[in-house]
């Protein structure tokens, strides 16, 4: 820069701001301040101020600096976002067709995190000073302070068992003085050799294989191990290796209800808890974790998908546990797959990424087959326990009587397990009491006013609830259509209804429902998971929450109430997802001691998914599924992108989607399907139409979409247009 030329004294920076625009805005850097790419700043944007990050320094921008606004604040206590993270943000934006600023928004979460936490006032003993009169209360205070450390006033009063006035008295007499203490000391570091379990030979081989992935660029490893094979113990050794190399590690889990058990296991291995990152932690803790990750004080994070965007100082490993889980896909704002983007982040920064599952995604299996991923298989349970014996109950022949949902064969199995003191788990992926409520007199069905979905009765709460928008209404006494009183009937079962049946059948058993919507929220759920783990329940009824990786050591029997749910679906991954879910849930049985049993209630005993589950022939199922995908050109052999148009006016949304389809540039490689009304045609008062673009694997579908959307009609009148690359949910 030419500092002697007055025209060039101003530094101009482009700043990415958290709004949905295509690029960065330019600002002047305030005199006397210095910024570099990645520096976090506050800038004026229209009438407000927003937090953004310097993306580039532009010494010779062809803009008259007089017309530019000035950066209003530089957060110079926070390290600038490094090159790797900025490249990652740009990469994700480019891949998802999202605005880079909206991706950056996932990095910059809270302003509070950008300034160091203010120190808190405390008190300390002045050396040698003695009070005029040593009362017993004062004596207790001084004894408590013998170690010479500073205390908060309230903490000291509590520890010494005195009132705050005793401490004030000692302050007045200059026996104690006020000092400032750091708000939170850095968390203790994991200890690499705290308590390593001896690994089985298969586990050791996998752990050694993972360790060998370090220092080889962005290698990806897939641990394909049956439920209970000790995948966690194995990837703990990869974490140890990352820490040994002075790197940080991140573990992604699909469900926060799982973190409790994970935290305890991590502590058993490394002597400390890792940091947690998900929607349930407090703003204060969130800021601490964000800062600790950026400063390097935090070495290991366990988190939900959004932790992928944390500003790690020296990230050197990502583990994606239960990698097949659809919860890793975010659907709103920037639709992205945290599993796939974890692989990208590892690739960009040259560190290993480990995917783990008992039922990997077809995508990951294919990647392992062609050698893109290193495969480590753990075909046996760590305890040596056999996998559960599975059998189908053909509901056409051996089903329950009318109005009942559990077949006699299953009830018999539960009775036997209960008599032996074992736990049973009944799995039904339907919350509430009944999925549909109707009037016996006139046939009126209760539907959500804002969504094309039935209202689900929640009998414990005495409410009808929409599972798509959260709308609730009390269960009415009379039918709103024909005014008949007490004429409402519940159709089909939800978990609450199964619980009712179980309580009737087994009045002495302790019955517990585990569902994500139980009153009391995540804390209660965590407690109840622990109760089950420790044997405080005999029969557990759960939704898909219980399928996800949780270890219930006393669980002996798993009954799948409706194995067909999820098979009939417009989703190309329906078979795969059903297989994964049912293999996972039946895998909860007999994990430690063996002797587990699984029952699948089905009307389709001949369906390939059911047959594959019963024969435990996982490989055959995957091979058949892979061939079917290859033949149909579906992922991972082809690429898919959904374009979803939604708006408050049905006709307008439909007309727009048709016009958009007509504007699609003809291209031999691209097949365009739709527009079709979405399976859930209306959500939250918005009508939805879907277009689906298919192309071969090597084709640059993003470039095609970008071109198409740039020449196509632009959404107006409250219409929203969302692109979803590699969609996972087809509702
Ligand atoms: P997965 O994640 O593959 O389902 P886990 O890692 O949860 O399996 O292990 C299942 C159970 O086996 C856990 O209770 C775990 O502590 C135990 N376990 C795993 N490996 C070993 C080992 N090498 N020695 C002793 N116990 C083990
Ligand atoms: Zn009626
Ligand atoms: Zn609704």
Report if pTM > 0.75.
yes
Q: What pLDDT is stored for residue 225 in this prediction?
A: 95
Cβ neighbours of 277 (radius 10 Å): 26
Instruction: Tell which atom from ligand 1 comes closest to the C-alpha of 200.
Output: 23
Q: Are residues 414 and 343 in the same domain?
A: no
* pLDDT confidence of residue 2: 41
Q: How far apart are CA 337 and CA 590, in angstroms?
A: 32
Asked whether residue 61 falls in the same domain as residue 174, the answer is no
Domain membership of residue 188 (yes or no) is no
State which residues have CB under 5 angstroms from ligand 3, the bound ion.
448, 450-451, 466, 468-469, 471
**Do the domain assignments include residue 486?**
yes
Q: Looking at the domain assignment, is residue 136 inside a domain?
A: yes
Give me the mean pLDDT over the 496-507 stretch: 97
Residues in the chain, overall count = 731
Listed residues 627, 654, 670: the one ending a domain: 627
Express each pLDDT in 435-470 by its tens digit. Answer: 999 999 999 999 999 998 999 999 888 899 998 888
Q: What is the residue with the minimal CA distance to atom 10 of ligand 1? A: 228
Q: How much is the mean pLDDT over the chain?
A: 91
pLDDT greater at residue 115 or residue 500 = 500
Establish if 191 belongs to a structural domain: no
Alpha carbon of 492 to ligand 2 centroid (Å): 19
Q: Quote the pLDDT of residue 20.
A: 85
- The sign of the CA dihedral 334, 340, 342, 343 is negative
Q: Which atom of ligand 1 is nearest to the CA of 378?
A: 3
Between the CA of 281 and the centroid of ligand 3 the distance, in Å, is 28
Residue 688's pLDDT band (boundaries 50, 70, 90)? very high
Minimum mean pLDDT range among 43-47, 333-337, 550-554: 550-554
The answer to whether position 115 is within a domain reads no
Whole-number Å distance, alpha carbon 474 to ligand 2 midpoint, is 16
4 pLDDT higher than 50: no
Question: Which of 592, 627, 662 delimits the end of a domain?
Answer: 627
Atom of ligand 1 nearest to the CA of 225: 3
Identify the CATH number of the domain in which residue 650 sits.
Answer: 3.30.70.600
pLDDT at 5 over 60: no
Considering the domain architecture, whether residues 22 and 75 belong to the same structural domain is answered as: yes
Ligand 1 mean position, distance from CA 263 (Å): 15
Instruction: Average the pLDDT over each of 31-35, 195-199, 522-526, 662-666 and give the range with the smallest value.
Output: 522-526
Same domain, 399 and 364: no
Ligand closest to the CA atom of residue 453: 3
Residue 231 CA, closest ligand 1 atom number: 3
The closest residue, in CA terms, to atom 20 on ligand 1 is 230
Considering the domain architecture, whether residues 539 and 590 belong to the same structural domain is answered as: yes
Full 3-state SS string of 33-100: CCCCCCCEEEEEECCEEEEEEEEEECCCCCCCHHHCCECCEECCCCCCCCHHHHHHHHHHHHHHCCCH
Name every protein residue with a CB atom under 6 angstroms from any ligand 1 atom: 197-200, 203, 225, 227-233, 382-383, 551
Confidence at 8, pLDDT banded by 50, 70, 90: low
What residue's CA is closest to ligand 1, atom 25?
A: 197
Rounded to the nearest angstrom, the distance between the alpha carbon of 229 and the centre of ligand 1 is: 6
Q: Residue 3 pLDDT > 70, yes or no?
A: no
Beta bridge partners of 25: 15
CATH code of 609's domain = 3.40.50.300
Collapsing DSSP states into helix, strand and coil, what is residue 437? Answer: strand
Question: Read out DSSP for 527-581?
Answer: HHHHHHHTT--SEEEE-GGGGSS---TTEEEEEES-TTTTTSSS-TTHHHHHHHH
Ligand 1 centre distance from Cα of residue 379 (Å):
13
For atom 15 of ligand 1, the residue with the nearest CA is 230
Number of domains in the chain: 6
Which range is least confidently modeled, 249-253, 414-418, 570-574? Answer: 570-574
**Residue 450 and residue 501 in one domain:** no
**Ligand number with the minimum distance to the CA of 489:** 2
Query: Which-ligand-closest: CA of 438?
Result: 2
Q: Which residues are annotated as a binding site?
A: 439, 442, 448, 451, 466, 469, 479, 482
Name the residue at shortest CA distance from atom 6 of ligand 1: 230
- Residue 193 falls inside a structural domain: no
The pLDDT assigned to 233 comes to: 95
* Residues 596, 668 within the same domain: no
* φ, ψ dihedrals at 512, nearest 5°: -135, 135
pLDDT beyond 80 at 393: yes
Q: What is the DSSP string of 604-628?
A: -TTSHHHHHHHHT-HHHHHHHHHHH
User: Which range (125-134, 204-213, 220-229) has the least confidence?
Assistant: 125-134
d(CA 123, CA 385): 57
Cβ neighbours of 344 (radius 10 Å):
19
Q: What is the pLDDT of residues 697-721, one digit of tens each?
A: 999 999 999 999 999 999 988 999 9
Residues in a beta bridge with 466: none
Longest distance between any two alpha carbons in the chain, whole Å = 95
Q: According to the model, what pLDDT value does residue 35 have?
A: 95
Residue 523 has pLDDT above 90, yes or no: no
Assess if residue 196 is contained within a domain.
no
Whether 607 and 672 share a structural domain: no
* Nearest-CA residue for atom 19 of ligand 1: 230
341-365: per-residue pLDDT in tens?
999 999 999 999 999 999 999 999 9
Regarding whether 459 and 502 lie in a shared domain, the answer is: no
For residue 481, the ligand closest to its alpha carbon is 2
For 173, the domain range is 120-181
Instruction: Tell which of 446, 465, 492 closes a domain.
Output: 492
* 443 and 503 co-located in one domain: no
Q: 470 CA to middle of ligand 2, Å?
A: 24
656 CA → ligand 3 middle, Å? 24
Neighbours of 676 (CB within 10 A): 14
pLDDT digits (tens, 9 = 90+) for 418-428: 999 999 999 99
Question: What is d(CA 472, CA 474) in angstroms, rounded to the nearest whole number?
Answer: 7
Residues 709 and 609 in one domain: no
Same domain, yes or no: 413 and 442: no
**pLDDT for res 59:** 67
Residue-level pLDDT at 1 = 43
118-150 tens-digit pLDDT: 888 889 988 888 888 889 999 999 888 887 788
Numbered residues of the known binding site for Zn(2+): 439, 442, 448, 451, 466, 469, 479, 482
| Ligand that comes closest to the CA of residue 198 | 1
Examine residue 190 and state whether it is found in any structural domain, yes or no.
Answer: no
């Amino acid at each position: 820069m030419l500092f002697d030329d007055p025209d060039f004294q101003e530094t101009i920076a482009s700043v990415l701001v958290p709004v949905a625009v295509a690029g960065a805005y330019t600002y002047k850097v305030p005199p006397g301040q210095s910024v570099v790419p990645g520096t976090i700043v506050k800038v004026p944007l229209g009438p407000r101020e927003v937090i953004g990050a310097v993306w580039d320094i532009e010494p010779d921008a062809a803009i008259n600096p007089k017309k530019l606004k000035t950066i209003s604040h530089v957060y110079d206590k926070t390290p600038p976002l490094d090159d790797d993270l900025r490249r990652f943000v740009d990469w994700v934006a480019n891949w998802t067709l999202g605005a880079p600023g909206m991706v950056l928004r996932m990095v910059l979460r809270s302003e509070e995190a950008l300034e160091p936490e203010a120190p808190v006032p405390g008190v300390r003993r002045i050396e040698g000073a003695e009070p005029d009169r040593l009362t017993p209360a004062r004596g207790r205070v001084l004894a408590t302070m013998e170690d010479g450390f500073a205390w908060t006033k309230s903490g000291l009063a509590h520890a010494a068992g005195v009132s705050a006035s005793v401490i004030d008295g000692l302050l007045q007499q200059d026996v104690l003085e006020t000092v400032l203490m750091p708000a939170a000391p850095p968390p203790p570091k994991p200890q690499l050799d705290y308590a390593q379990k001896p690994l089985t030979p298969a586990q050791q081989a996998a752990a050694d294989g993972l360790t060998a992935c370090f220092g080889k660029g962005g290698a990806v490893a897939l641990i394909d191990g049956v439920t209970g094979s000790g995948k966690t113990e194995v990837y703990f050794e990869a974490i140890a290796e990352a820490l040994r190399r002075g790197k940080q590690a991140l573990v992604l889990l699909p469900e926060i209800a799982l973190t409790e058990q994970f935290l305890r296991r991590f502590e058993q291995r490394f002597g400390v808890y890792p940091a947690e990152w998900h929607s349930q932690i407090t703003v204060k803790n969130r800021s601490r974790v964000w800062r600790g990750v950026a400063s390097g004080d935090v070495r290991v994070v366990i988190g939900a998908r959004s932790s992928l965007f944390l500003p790690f100082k020296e990230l050197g490993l990502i583990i994606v546990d239960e990698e097949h889980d659809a919860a890793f896909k975010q659907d709103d704002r920037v639709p992205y797959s945290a599993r796939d983007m974890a692989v990208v982040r590892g690739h960009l920064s040259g560190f290993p990424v480990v995917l783990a599952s008992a039922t990997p995604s077809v995508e990951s299996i294919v990647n392992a087959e062609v050698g893109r991923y290193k495969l480590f298989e753990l075909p046996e349970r760590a305890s040596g326990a056999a996998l559960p014996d599975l059998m189908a109950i053909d509901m056409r022949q051996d089903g329950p009587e009318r109005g009942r949902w559990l077949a006699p064969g299953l009830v018999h199995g539960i009775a036997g397990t209960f008599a032996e003191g074992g736990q049973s788990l009944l799995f039904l992926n339907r919350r509430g009491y009944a999925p549909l409520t109707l009037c016996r007199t006139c046939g009126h069905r209760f539907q959500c006013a804002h969504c094309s979905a039935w209202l689900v009765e929640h009998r414990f709460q005495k409410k009808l609830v929409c599972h798509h928008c959260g709308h609730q209404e009390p269960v009415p006494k009379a039918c709103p259509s024909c005014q008949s009183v007490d004429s409402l009937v519940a159709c089909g079962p939800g978990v609450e209804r199964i619980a009712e049946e179980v309580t009737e059948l087994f009045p002495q058993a302790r019955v517990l429902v585990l569902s994500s919507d139980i009153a009391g929220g995540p804390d209660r759920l965590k407690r109840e998971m622990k109760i089950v783990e420790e044997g405080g329940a005999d029969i557990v009824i759960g939704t898909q929450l219980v399928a996800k990786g949780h270890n219930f050591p006393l669980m002996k029997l798993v009954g799948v109430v409706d194995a067909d749910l999820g098979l009939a679906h417009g989703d190309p991954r329906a078979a795969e997802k059903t297989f994964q879910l049912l293999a996972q849930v039946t895998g909860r049985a007999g994990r430690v001691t063996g002797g587990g049993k699984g029952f699948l209630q089905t009307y389709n005993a001949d369906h390939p998914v059911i047959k594959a589950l019963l024969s435990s022939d996982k490989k055959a199922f995957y091979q058949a599924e892979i061939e079917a995908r290859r033949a149909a050109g579906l992922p991972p052999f082809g690429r898919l992108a959904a374009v979803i148009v939604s708006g408050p006016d049905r006709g307008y949304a439909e007309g727009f989607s048709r016009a958009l389809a007509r504007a699609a540039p003809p291209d031999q490689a691209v097949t365009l399907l739709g527009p079709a009304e979405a399976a859930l045609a209306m959500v939250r008062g918005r009508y939805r139409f879907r277009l689906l673009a298919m192309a071969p694997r090597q084709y640059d579908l993003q470039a095609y979409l970008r071109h198409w959307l740039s020449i196509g009609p632009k959404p107006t009148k409250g219409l929203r247009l969302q692109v979803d690359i590699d969609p996972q949910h087809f509702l």
